[in-house]
Amino acid sequence: MTARPLRILFATPRFYPAQGGVENHVYQVARRLAQQGHEPVVYTTDDDGALAPHDSVEGVRIRRFRAYPARSDLFLSPQLHAAIQAEGAHFDLLHVQNYLTLVSPAAMHGAKRARLPYVVTFHGGGHSQSWRSSVRGLQGRVLRPLLLHADRLIATARFEVDYYSQRLKLPRDKFAYVSNGCDIAVRTVDVPLADPPLIVSIGRLEKFKGHHRVLKAFPALLTQEPRARLLLLGDGPFRHELEAMARGLGVADKVVIGGLPLAERQRMAETLSSASLVTLMSEFETQPMAALEAIALGRPVLVADTSGLSELAQHGYAHAVPLDAQPDTLAGAMIALMRAPKSRQAIQLPTWDECTEGLIALYRDVLARNKTRGSA
């Protein structure tokens, strides 16, 4: 018997055309669900009303709800909460993405009131504002009752299972591991190294992603590699500060700042393949897929010795330096890695197809368990 299509509702703070790791995760999974005949719908927010409230992309329906305050990443959206509570019966399951914003408790509470099963993917990360990072413990304790009510908690990196089960005092058997995917490594990419040499710093343009650390080290690097160029590959609210910093350091003519649309994966592959060095000096990453993609493309990668980035170095896939390394020290590490003999790493990355299949299996398991409990 053919299993019927699933009606999956995703709740996420931002979505296409916004860029970032969570946005890409939902985009990649939701469009694959649509391709397989399922019915994915994305509820997301818009903090300035600039985007259409009803939209679609590649078979995925999108509803955008106003979020407050404007131009903030708190994403307070009473309308999203009300819609999930009122319309939950139209869906089989809610998948909450990113526990760090106010979308998460609003979505979980709305689903609970609608008796809609829900699962949560943490997508943990750092934050550009120190006070937001300092209240994570309190935030976790407030969310804990809603997380306990979730049918499954999904980790995209293995260390998250221990990290969140201990930090939030959640039972380990509530967790499932479903890796993010990668669609760059499966493509054939034969691009020569850029000349003059190109350094790519990857990640959304948020302060915690560490682009400014690479930028501050760049003048010292230029004393040894005067022809080098730097690409800060991403988009986000820290862009203007980075542009001003590049001007203040006198290197604006050698620095390009900007991202690529999520759909342009071949251009991303070509850009990374042409780099003499790829860096990610972020404060916190769970599963840094952009770094893994660069490694799979044979690029040397330099990361901060933190969180999921440390795992890359421990496996020998990347080189790590302390997060608080001084600019001269960071520049020295960058130069050494650029000049080191290059050898392609043997690394097998999961695909987005595998990620999607893993989530479908999880969704069906959750629904079957709920059906069994309902008939008991």
From 354, 352, 358, 359, select the one nearest 94 (Cα to Cα). Answer: 359
Nearest to 229 by CA among 264, 194, 205: 194
Overall residue count recorded for the chain in this entry: 376
Rounded to a whole number of angstroms, the CA Rg of the chain reads 21
Residue with tokens 């990072």: 133
- Distance, in Å, from the CA atom of 268 to the CA atom of 323, rounded to the nearest integer, reads 26
* 204/155 Cα distance (integer angstroms): 21
Spatial separation of the C-alpha atoms in residues 259 and 282, rounded to whole Å: 17
10, 26, 91: which is closest to 367 by C-alpha?
Answer: 91
Residue 118 structure tokens: 């829900």
Q: Tokens 């990610």 belong to which residue?
A: 280
Q: How far apart are CA 366 and CA 369, in angstroms?
A: 5
* pLDDT for residue 127: 45
- Residue pair 191/308 in contact by the 8 Å Cβ criterion: no
**How far is Cα 282 from Cα 211, in angstroms, rounded to an integer?**
8
Mean pLDDT in runs of 10 for the chain (376 residues)?
A: 86 90 92 98 93 96 93 87 97 95 95 98 63 52 92 91 91 94 63 92 92 98 98 93 98 94 79 95 86 86 92 88 97 96 69 96 96 69
C-alpha span between 24 and 180 (Å, rounded) = 10
Rounded to an integer, what distance in angstroms lies between the CA atom of residue 126 and that of residue 206? 9
Query: DSSP secondary-structure letter at 237?
Result: T
**Residue 15 structure tokens:** 């979505």
- The tally of CA atoms less than 13 A away on the side-chain side of residue 267 is 7
Contacts of 41 (CB under 8 A, 6+ apart): 7, 8, 9, 10, 60, 61, 62, 63, 91
Residue with tokens 């780099």: 275
Strands of the sheet with 152-155, listed across from one edge: 54-57, 60-66, 39-46, 7-11, 93-97, 118-121, 152-155, 175-177
Query: What's residue 304's pLDDT?
Result: 97
Question: According to the model, what pLDDT value does residue 130 have?
Answer: 47
CA-nearest of 120, 125, 115 to 103 is: 120
What does the pLDDT read at residue 289?
A: 78
Total Cβ atoms within 10 A of residue 50: 7
